[in-house]
Amino acid sequence: MLPTVEQVAKMIDHSLLRPDLTVGEVRQGCELAASRGTKSVCVRPSDVALAVAALHGTGVLVGTVVGFPHGNTLTAIKVAETKALVEAGADEIDMVLDIGRLRSGDAAYVRDDIAAVVQAAGGRCVKVIQENAYLTNDQKVLGCRLVEEAGAQFVKTSTGFAPGGATLADIRLMRATVSPAIEVKAAGGVRTLDTLLELVEAGATRFGATATAAILDDLAARHRGERTSVVAAADGAY
């Protein structure tokens, strides 16, 4: 059975992270998110205050990014950035872990880096981006375990700016690695409803997407088709 349009909308973080977006385009993106009832928008740090104002009273959360997109800023900078963004009104933080340190096997550094951001977020949801395109499966598993140890709420596949994005294999691996207390977010390449539904089946519960309208419109159309079929079948029975 297909999920409802409302259910899928509440799985989507509408992504507004392209570096070339104008202020007007960010406002338009916030309007789209509000009209479609997405879970959140995910905006660039400099756009947080704008998004907070644009989405006031809509129920759509404002998310933003820290250490984006490479993850190699100092922990102190990530902490300062997180605190400033929380003060500006951010509800959720998507941080990039230190990819090079993870690939080097420096587990303590990666865990402490994440934990510092979690603490700075003051109880707000923290999603940790591993950037799986650069990692082996063993490194992905290690990253997931460190995310959970550090107290974050989500593991996330990708920034959307690396050579590859979310894959079924990665979602299955991440879901199998973390406990039920940790959720999995897919980002990068989630452009169609079929892709999203496949990733839901694999264990993802949140999605970074720019093709939000197309995904939700496709789902609405399929529901209309299902209702038409049911009516036709019922008419035939009589």
β-bridge partners, 16: 43
What 22-30 contacts at long range (C-beta under 8 Å, 24+ apart), as own/partner pairs, is 23/47, 23/50, 26/50, 26/51, 27/54, 30/54, 30/55, 30/60
Active-site residue, 185 included:
yes
At 2, the amino acid letter reads: L
Q: How far apart are CA 166 and CA 189, in angstroms?
A: 6
- Read off the pTM: 0.93
In tens, the pLDDT along 115-136 reads 999 999 999 999 999 999 999 9
Active-site residue, 39 included:
no
Q: Which of 78, 98, 156, 170 is catalytic?
A: 156
DSSP 2: P
Choosing among 3.20.20.70, 3.50.50.60, 1.10.357.10, 3.20.20.140, the CATH entry for 5-237 is 3.20.20.70
In tens, the pLDDT along 181-207 reads 999 999 999 999 999 999 999 999 999
pLDDT band at 226 (very low <50, low <70, confident <90, very high): low
Q: Which of 91, 94, 98, 170 is catalytic?
A: 94
40, two tokens: 């959140």
